Amino acid sequence: MCELLGMSLNGAINPKISFRGFQKLGKNNPDGWGIGYYKNKKATIEKEPINALSSDFLQNEKNLENILSKIIIGHVRKISQGKLSYNNTHPFKRDLDGKEYLFAHNGTVDCNNFDLSVFKPIGETDSEYMFCHLLECIQKKKIVNWSENEFEWLKQKLNQINKFGKLNCLMSNGEYLFCYHDIEGHNGLCFIQRKPPYREIKLKDIDWEVDLREEKNPNKTGFIIATKKLTKESWKKFNKGELIVFKDGKMIYSNHRDI
């Protein structure tokens, strides 16, 4: 099953440490990889319909070092719907009211009940179709500036969509990172907070230790979100049906926990 990676920081960073551990998940998710991020408020996507472990782009660490963003969404794919192709590889990107949205999903959703009029999928996946449907709902709701009322609405909308299948997803408009976990707990979703004092960590399933004191600016803080924990630390699990919203490296909304 596909795997997700999200990052929300209070300042732009490169994702080379987290993505190195995430890349290894291509072993069981060989049908594509992608990473979306924001540069000068514009969404940029790097993705390939190949195994992340075979990617020349990812083998060159300078490529990841050149990615600097406060919000990052990553995905490795195992096909459930749609052929192996660039257009079917996550994340997906669309413009809505001058904001560029990024979206990645794992699970499978029956989209036959979702009508589309404005946004149309380019590829063949249920994930992109669902993304288009969600954007149409946001547009119809006339959401331009997000606040707690809109977060509550989004949680309810994702709960409704979730009734048609299995849904874990990450979405961003360049300002917020929206992270939703399936109502039945499908495939898991967890997070860890990064803040000083930094220390040495060991990546899970990789014989590689990193001293974050040497890698991290002590002023940089934020959260990393993943399908499964990427390091041998204590990660916190999302609750079933939980939507968490992050902004500038802070958790600002949850329908299941106090902020």
Supply the residues annotated as catalytic.
Answer: 2
CA separation for the pair 91, 95 (Å, rounded): 14
Residue 185 vs residues 25, 64, 153, 167, 238: alpha-carbon distances, Å: 20, 31, 21, 9, 9
Per-residue pLDDT of the chain (259 residues; tens, 9 = 90+): 689 999 999 999 888 777 777 777 778 889 999 999 999 889 999 999 999 999 999 888 888 888 999 999 999 999 888 899 999 999 999 999 999 999 999 999 999 989 899 999 999 999 999 999 999 999 999 998 999 999 999 999 999 999 999 999 999 999 999 999 999 999 999 999 987 665 665 555 554 444 444 455 567 889 999 999 888 888 999 999 999 999 999 999 999 999 8
For residue 49, the model assigns a pLDDT of 97
- Tell me the fold of 3-254: Glutamine Phosphoribosylpyrophosphate, subunit 1, domain 1 (3.60.20)
For residue 126, the model assigns a pLDDT of 96
What tokens does 240 get? 């079933």
Residue pointed to by tokens 């998940």? 25
For residue 211, the model assigns a pLDDT of 42
* DSSP designation for 231: B
For residue 2, the model assigns a pLDDT of 85
Among 118, 120, 117, 54, which Cα is nearest to 84's? Answer: 54
Is cis: bond before 91, omega within 30 of 0? Answer: yes
For residue 44, the model assigns a pLDDT of 97
- Map out the domains of the chain as residue ranges: 3-254
Q: 3-class SS at 85?
A: coil
Q: Please give the model's pTM, rounded to 2 decimal places.
A: 0.93
Q: 3-class SS at 72?
A: strand
